[in-house]
Structure 1
Amino acid sequence: SVETSDFDLSADQIDYNSDTHWAYARGHVHLEHFVTGDKLDADHAEYNLKTEDGKFYAVDGTSPAKILTSPGILTTTSPFYFQAQWAERIKDRYILHQGFVTDCKLPKPWWTFEAPVFDIIPGDRAISRHTIFRLRHIPIFYLPIFYRPLGKNPRQSGFLTPNIGHSSLYGFIAGAGYYWAINRSYDTTAIGQYYSDRGPALRYNLRGKPNDVTDFNFNLYGVHDSGITLGNTLYKEGGTEFELTAKTEIWGFRGMLDYNYLTSYVYREAFSYAFTSPIWSQNNSLGFLQRHFKDDVYTFNVAMDRQQNFEAITYPYQKNLTTGAITTQQANEVIIQRLPSLEFSGRDQQITDGSLPIWFSFGSSASLLNRSEPTAETSGSPGQIFQTGNTARIDIAPHVMTEFNFKGFSLIPAITLGATDYSSSYSTNNTVFAAGGSCGDPTCPVTTEALGRGNVFRRDADFTLDLRLPALERVYNPPKWLHLGGKIKHVIEAEATYEFLTGINNFQRIIHFDATDILSNTNQITYSIVNRLYKKDKNGNVSEVVSWRLAQARYFDPTFGGAVTPNQGSCAYNSAGIALVNPTCQRVVVLATEELTPYTFLDGPRSISPIVSSLVVNPYPFFGFEYRADYDPLRHKIIDHVFSGTARHGKYAGSVSETAVTTNPILIPQQNQISFSGAYGSSNRRGWNVAGGMFFDALAGKRLFDYAQMSYNTDCCGFSFELRNFNLGIRQDNQYLFSFSVANIGTFGSLQKQARIF
């Protein structure tokens, strides 16, 4: 045995020439390098102790594993194995001749890469040419060049493994790609796919980090659709979508950008990959520069945003196969833009102290806005588009507050004086609902809109009085069978807020762009009570087990200063609480109600709001659920509720959720959607792992989407198969997806990692 500070060489017999520094080893030769961690065994070898060069025969060895931590990548802690007929060591390199490499445990590896020559630098990389990938000794594919990272920086340019699959809508799917590590700061990936029934597709990604405070990510997906024939018409549903996200710091500003582009909603519906995309009918973009001044007391923003809401599916290309006529449908969408908005605000500053402390804050903005929308709801191309043009809006809102405290009671009076100037407004803004129309919606709203001349100036005064009662507490000893620890604390919190806002007498003339524009007069009191349960574990850590909040508002001005038309009254309802659509119905959205619940409920004058209940239960780390509901005392029923629950125990996991809306369909379309999911295993667990889920529309009585995935992981690779079914509008599609994962290397196949459960 010969040992130095860098390596250890041992064998049954070693002959050493001190003049040439060559050692000749025979029988159970073992070489280990302490710095790189590589180990090598051979039948016999010749090795230079000075230059660390040599030759080894009948070789096998290991190099420490490089574990990739990217989401969706199968990992293993097994070392990198290699075998060869003979090997050369030149400095820190091994040249393997007629051998193979693998991450699988020997002597029966699941997979191997075989090649005439491997060039390996332990802790850095392995390269081979004319490589054959074998799975259980069966040749699967040939690689002209194979590169395997073994070091801290695994990025290296090269071709990506191919992907295959099948879809009842697209036909057979085949594709391949290339990854280019441009330099340390930039890389890009391009993946081309071909759908046998629809045409070529491209996925492209470009990432960069030019400096310590700047990075960006660009993703593009496009399909050149050959079209689908329905009846006597050819419909082309292809298009392009991309997203650009970026952040930076410049001139003391912090900048953020999230820009999204979509050619048409039908493209997203037809070609999006995941279930959440085709049901998302919005396409929003936002960018801003923000700077704080004077220890974050003041904030200045330059913001731009674009909100695009699709009302219906329209086709940008239709061809009559008999006449050859080509038609294009106009997009049915609502677009709201701020280009740009300058915002300056100051947070609360105490300007007086003593027995009457006073805090002052303010908000202000100057914006250029525009809005376009269809004037009538249709199931296809809109008949008429109303456009506001560019509207300038200047808004100023100083805010003053004080606080009184007495034996746990807290009283906080505050007043806000608002002033808003608009360069344009409505001269006419009226919506009529008619039952039984042909728009695809039983309410069929038709809006009459026209712009007036001249500026509109809105001023308001908003007084609030917030009362918070002292919390009531009591400590209990919970039953042992609940396993909640030794002590439970029950806390009850109650508060009430009175608000009187006046001065807004032109609500119907204001064009709605954002929350600033739905401000209305109100005279109301909002009261709430919260019950909380806390537990303490044996280590003294406190966690909230239950939180249940109930809130309601009482409106002393049922018309909100005329925002709700007083003469029309409310919609008529039958004995089941279902609205009977008629021209007297209204749909009004004001800020006072939106701050209570996101589900709008104003279809006419009313003096009391629904009771808003929010229950969150998390008694154990492996189980929890939430239930949120709005109960309308005027309709004597729950008008909307959302439930979600999750549970996980060991290798088992499950979830269930439901969203149901039964309010007036003029306010919100009625719905009842239920989802279930379950799983056994995890992404890196050896053996069989299964998962499945379903989204069900209870009103329509049909499945919207379901999936089932099965995977099997060995010590060094994994196999996954997934079956999906889409039943969403025009999307009727069955997909059969497969992927094969090689631990610490990557995955190939049509089952993309961002859509995998395992």
Structure 2
Amino acid sequence: MSARERNFEPERRTVFALISPGTAFAILEKSLAMRARTFLCTMLLLLCHSQLWSQALTKQFPLGGTALSSSSASTPSSAVKTPVSDSSALPEDASVESQIPEAHVVPPPPQGIPVRIQADSQTYVKADSGGVYTLLGHVVIHYKDYIISADRATYNQDTGEIVGNGHLHIDGGPDEAHLMADHGTINPDAHTGHFYDVSGTLGHGRTSEPKLITKFVSGSGEVQQAKVLLASSSPFAITGKELIETGERQYHVIDGSMTSCQLPNPDWRLIAQNFFLNNNVAKGANSWFEFDGLPVVHRVPVFYLPYVTHPIDSDSRQSGFVIPSFGSDTTKGLILGEDYYQVLGRSADLTVGSQYYSKRGFAPRALFRYRGRDYDFATFRFVSLLDRLPGTENQGGVDMLFDGRHDFGPETRAVADLEYLSSYTYRQEFEDNYVVAINSEVKSQAFLSHAHNGLAESVAFNRYESYESSSTTSSGEQEIKIIHAPTLAFDGVDQYLPGTPLMWGVTTTGTGLSRSEPGFQTTHFIPRIDLEPHLAMPLHFDSWHVRPAVGVRDTFYGSSQNPAPIGELPTERDASLNRKDFEADIDVRPPALERDFSSPLLAKIFGADLRHTIEPEVEYRYVGGIDNFSSVMRFDTVDVASNTNELGYYLHQKIFLRPLKPHPCKGDEALGPDDMCSSETSAWLNWEVGQKFFFNNTFGGAITDRTRNVLDTTLDLTGVAFVSHPRDYSPIISRLRMQTTSTTNLEWDMDYDTKTGRLDSSNLFGTYKHGDFSFTLADAHLHTLPGASPPSDAKSSTSTLTTTTSSSEEINFNQLRLTAVYGSPLKTGLSVGMNTGYDFTLDQLQYAGVQTTYNWNCCGLSFEVRRYALGTVPEHTTYLYNFTLANVGTAGSLSWAERVF
């Protein structure tokens, strides 16, 4: 060894080390000599132990390679690693991927592991099978996918062990570690190490973008929306007096903490004497949750956790008990809740638990979720209350909901949306979502369908349940039930007959029907077969589009009904019925009128040119041959078909905007799908106005005077019943939709009756967002026609002829919904929002809610106060909270379905 090799060199240099072939043969010869002694020891162990479990501890010795270094005169030929000719082949930064499997024994390293050593000065001491490098000043060692730096370090070629002192940094490895320690030891081959006074991160980084999750849509009317999760750009972070790496992706933290916030000043952390990080999950016992988010407090222990788990990767899931929740309600009392979360493989999980209401009792609940390939999914939700109040005061109940879909192939699928509700009173009193609480309908449907080349076959089951009121009688709550079990359907979309200009189509259904309501019930399932084929011949000339069509319809019923006077329910009669009709239709669409507008004023206001189009449409429809309308039992829209001779005329107006200059999307525009907001023309305004004229104003005798009449032809125009007497004109319908940006729009649907001079319905909906401010306004106005008036000698509800529960007076409904929000769920700092619903008819505030949220860098806290006053249900006020940890989840009594924003 030269004198230069024995002393520290003053200049900074890079050294590449290798094992020589002679060294490799020496190692092999020594191992062969020890083979006999190893065999005898193994035999003695087998004889002395009746059962021996295999356990391997591996000490890896690098294999030999060709000698080469950056300076052949100063580097010994016995160096143990393969050279790297280009420094770009070495990892300079940590990867952002981390998938932690089960611990396993590390196999011997492959021949020729690249190692690069940098230091201000270094010495090398040669040994029999390798050597030891002593490095001083700005030490950097590149080993496999590790980057290790320190003030001082030693590297043992024989064992692969690195000892660092002073500002020790470890980056990379299978966990993508980024660790800082005072000093420590690491063996990259064996994935072992021991570090002191350490802090840093493990696992890949998270995105700081909000995560969008499609919210569960219930069959009971819950509105679909997207929710966001608070996320942090920091990966899993740890600190500790000691960190021991016991194997690949296995760590032990002593007297330390873990968090998902940025170090060194996290908003929150979990503190314990021992944390064990295995299989992508950190576990600890006897830990404290410490909060440090407020400037007036510093590191306040919030609550004690006997056992806690924390995922190293934000996408991983871990079974265990969630953080308990609590709240308060004037009806429920003090609310305490606890749930257990169980992972059921990669695609499913289960949450079971219960809430305890101090005034009412226990409320068990469960949620099962499954996500399969493509569109396959299944969700089961169960909520209930074991009300301890006695007799008629007991408002307990059960609400179960199942949604699922499975695709057997590209043309065959099965879908189910099933719900069971035991009590409408329970829903009104204890449902936390206002939209669901006011919904008196329970719908269930399931079907299996196959579609191919324009033809579709399906089998379906349907159950419809509507509660007439929340009051109960001796026989229970009053409700209407309609069941379709099953329904066999065959549909053929319009397609050309070969060699002709004619198109054919058909709709065929066969089903078993049942209906029950207070005072009436079908004696059995009534069969119904409905066949409706038709022919059409589309014509096109000079921008005119004309589509005449003719068809016939034959509907067979296994039973019929005896018509009854106004105010009484009809009765079932054991006689079949066959309804036949002839149908003709012609749809005429003249050429569209259009004009472009371009001026400096429009360019200044809209930044675009305008195009206005007017598209008229005229449709004539004739249906004849139905002379037994009053004898048909009512189950669905098939049964309200009637004679008609009508002319419908409509006017569609649209305004399109064509941007003049390309510009990047800003503000609300950036929420859209395009990066450049002037990429294409957009429909800014859409306005449809229409009306029907009836040549047959009695609809073939289907009209019953002085009561609401629902017919197939009126349902095609509007969902509001307007026929109470023979009439020639329908109300004028108006449908106005305007959208300026992806978050600012306006919609106004209106029905104006020219005969009575009033609005039958008016629904206004608008949203506006500017910066952190957003507003939503909805106003619903409905004028109902009178129902059937009960006669003075009406019989009791137990009779087969009963009075109806419909109102005999006209009623105006007018309800207002308003939401105002400053901020968002992801905004740092304070956010405030309120929503309210007011009934002008009853002059009553139906509900109101106020929510405040404060988000720190990696956690947030929300409070909400809600008040309900739903008809016969007593008023009650609820106090809720929610605590959110970035990249971890939320805990508390405030769910996403109940949030104001």
Tell whether 2:608 aligns with 1:486.
Answer: yes
Deviation at 1:536, TM superposition (A): 1.6
Structure 1 contact 159–177 (Cα < 8 Å) conserved: yes
Query: Of 403, 412, 415, which aligns to 1:256?
Result: 415
Partner residue in 1 for 2:323:
161
Moved more, 233-242 or 475-484: 475-484
Q: Distance in 2 between matches of 1:150 and 1:52?
A: 18
Q: Secondary structure at the match of 1:728?
A: coil
8 A contact 2:232–2:261 mirrored in 1: no
> Following TM superposition, by how much is the alpha carbon of 1:53 offset from its aligned partner in structure 2, in angstroms?
1.6
Does 2:502 correspond to 1:358? yes
| Alpha-carbon distance in structure 1 between the residues aligned to 2:147 and 2:354 | 49
* C-alpha distance in structure 1 between counterparts of 2:443 and 2:554, whole Å: 28
Query: How many residues end up aligned between the 2 structures?
Result: 697
Residues 1:450 and 1:189: Cα distance change in structure 2 (over 3 Å): same
* Counterpart in the other structure of 1:332: 478
The answer for the alignment partner of 1:409 in structure 2 is 544
**Conserved? CA contact 2:648–2:690, under 8 Å:** yes
Q: How does 1:666-677 map to 2 (within 5 A)?
A: 666=787, 669-677=811-819
Aligned to 2:516: 372
Moved more, 47-56 or 512-521: 47-56
Offset at 1:628?
A: 1.0
- Alpha-carbon offset, residue 204 of structure 1: 0.4
Match of 2:201 among 52, 62, 73: 62
Deviations 1:100-152 (A, max 9, x none): 11122333322110111112259x22222222111232222222222111237
Q: Secondary structure in 1 aligned to 2:608?
A: coil
- The Cα of 1:637 is off from its aligned counterpart by 1.8
Cα pair distance change 1:502/1:85, threshold 3 Å: same
1:701 pairs with 2:862: no
Q: Does the residue aligned with 1:299 lie in a helix, a strand or coil?
A: strand
Matched, 1:546 2:685: yes
> Please, what TM-score do these two structures have when normalized by structure 1?
0.89
**Contact 2:531–2:553 under 8 Å retained in 1:** yes
1:714 is matched with: 856
CA shift at 1:711, angstroms? 0.3
Q: What's the secondary structure of 1:94's corresponding residue?
A: strand
2:522 matched residue in structure 1: 387
Q: In structure 1, what residue type is equivalent to 2:879?
A: Y
* 1:682-725 Cα distance to aligned partner (Å, 9 max, x none): 11111011111110001111110110100000011101000100
Measured in 1, the distance between the counterparts of 2:401 and 2:171 equals 49
Task: Show CA shifts across 1:631-655 (max 9, x none).
Answer: 1111012221100110011111001
Supply the RMSD in Å over aligned alpha carbons: 2.0
Contact 1:236 1:315 in 2 (8 A): no
CA offsets per residue over residues 214-265 of structure 1, 9 Å max, x none?
Answer: 532111000001228xxxx851000101001122234873110111000011
1:23 and 1:197 map into 2 onto residues whose CA distance is 64
Change (3 A) 1:246 1:49: closer
Contact 1:626 1:645 in 2 (8 A): yes
Take 2:684 and 2:243, find their aligned partners in 1: how far apart are those partners? Answer: 63
Q: In structure 2, what is the Cα distance between the partners aligned to 1:757 and 1:702?
A: 20
Partner of 1:242: 400
**Residues 425, 455 of structure 1: 8 Å contact kept:** yes
SS, match of residue 662 in structure 1: strand
Q: How far apart in 2 are the matches of 1:42 and 1:509?
A: 88
Confirm whether residue 749 of structure 1 aligns to residue 892 of structure 2.
yes
Q: Is the 8 A contact 2:143 2:188 kept in 1?
A: no
SS at match of 2:724: coil
Would you say the 8 A contact 1:493–1:529 is kept in 2?
yes
Counterpart residue type for residue 246 of structure 1? G
- Equivalent pair of 1:174/1:195 in contact (CA under 8 Å): yes
- 448-457 or 61-70, larger mean C-alpha shift: 61-70
SS at match of 1:431: coil
Task: Please say if 1:642 is aligned against 2:763.
Answer: yes
Does residue 430 of structure 1 match 2:573? no
Who wins on radius of gyration, i.e. which is larger?
2
> 2:336 matched to 1:174?
yes
Shift of 1:452: 2.1
Structure showing greater relative contact order (alpha-carbon pairs closer than 8 Å, 6 or more residues apart): 1
Shift of 1:607: 0.7
| Contact in 1 for aligned 2:206/2:232 (Cα 8 Å) | no
Residues in 2 aligned to 1:49 and 1:333: alpha-carbon distance in whole angstroms: 71
1:660 to 763, 773, 781: 781
Cα contact 2:472–2:478 (8 A) shared by 1: no
Residues 469 and 10 of structure 1, relative CA distance in 2, 3 Å threshold: same
User: Contact conserved, 1:72 with 1:754, CA < 8 A, in 2?
Assistant: no
Give the equivalent residue in structure 2 for 1:320: none
Q: Does 1:499 align with 2:621?
A: yes
Deviations 1:520-573 (A, max 9, x none): 0000000000110001224341111111111000001111000014xx5xxxxx
TM-score under structure 2 normalisation?
A: 0.75
Change (3 A) 1:353 1:112: same
Which structure dedicates a bigger proportion of its chain to strand? 1
1:267 aligned to 426, 447, 460, which one?
A: 426
- Structure 1 distance, partners of 2:697, 2:839, is 36
CA distance in 1, matches of 2:371, 2:881: 33
SS in 1 for 2:469: coil
Match of 1:126 among 274, 282, 295: 282
State the alpha-carbon separation in 1 of the partners of residues 375 and 778 from structure 2: 40
**Alpha-carbon distance in 1 for matches of 2:896, 2:839:** 27
Provide, for residues 293-341 of structure 1, a one-character-per-residue CA deviation record: whole Å limited to 9, x for no partner.
Answer: 3x2x21101011011011011348xxxxxxxxxxx44221111110001
Separation of aligned partners in 2, 1:108 and 1:101: 12
Structure 2 counterpart of 1:242, which letter? M
- Equivalents in 1 of 2:868, 2:730: separation in Å? 39
Q: How does 1:98-109 map to 2 (within 5 A)?
A: 98-109=255-266
Do the aligned residues in 2 keep the contact of 1:188 with 1:205 (CA within 8 Å)? yes
Contact 2:199–2:239 (CA under 8 A) maintained in structure 1? yes
Matches within 5 A, 1:212-361: 214-227=376-389, 235-250=393-408, 253-293=412-452, 295=453, 297-315=454-472, 328-351=474-497, 357-361=501-505
* Aligned counterpart, 1:581: none
Tell me the residue number matched to 2:296. none
Structure 2 counterpart of 1:189, from 351, 361, 368: 351
Partner of 2:310: 148
Q: CA deviation at 1:386?
A: 3.8
1:723-756 alpha-carbon deviations (Å, 9 max, x no partner): 1000112141101111111111111111113322
Note closer, same or farther for the CA distance 1:564–1:545 as it changes in structure 2 (3 Å cut): same
Tell me how far apart the structure 2 counterparts of residues 746 and 452 of structure 1 sit (CA, whole Å): 60
1:277 deviates by 1.4
**Deviation for aligned residue 1:670:** 2.1
Q: Cα–Cα, structure 1 residues 79 and 402, in superposed 2: closer, same or farther, change >3 Å?
A: same
Counterpart-to-counterpart distance in 2, 1:629 and 1:248 = 39
1:95 offset after TM fit, Å? 1.3
In the superposition, relative to structure 1, how do residues 679 and 509 fare at CA in structure 2: closer, same or farther (>3 Å)?
A: same
Q: Which amino acid aligns with 2:835?
A: G
**Structure 2: which 5+ runs fail to align?**
1-139, 214-226, 293-298, 663-677, 788-806
SS across alignment from 2:626: coil
CA distance in structure 1 between the partners assigned to 2:323 and 2:874 by the alignment: 29
Q: How much identity, in percent, do the aligned residues show? A: 30
2:519 is equivalent to residue 398 of structure 1? no
> Structure 1: how far apart are the matches of 2:823 and 2:144?
45
Choose the corresponding residue for 1:509, options 616, 622, 631. 631
* CA distance, structure 2, for counterparts of residue 227 and residue 657 of structure 1: 38
The answer to whether the 8 A contact 1:625-1:646 is kept is yes
**Are positions 1:624 and 2:745 aligned together?**
yes
3-state SS of 1:513 partner: coil
Helix, strand or coil for the counterpart of 1:516?
A: helix
Mapped contact 1:265–1:310 kept (Cα < 8 A):
yes
2:866 alignment counterpart = 724
Q: How far, CA to CA, are the matches of 2:639 and 2:698 in structure 1?
A: 17
Deviates more, 1:125-134 or 1:69-78: 69-78
Matches of 2:859 and 2:536, distance apart in 1:
63
Q: Distance in 1 between matches of 2:597 and 2:365?
A: 59
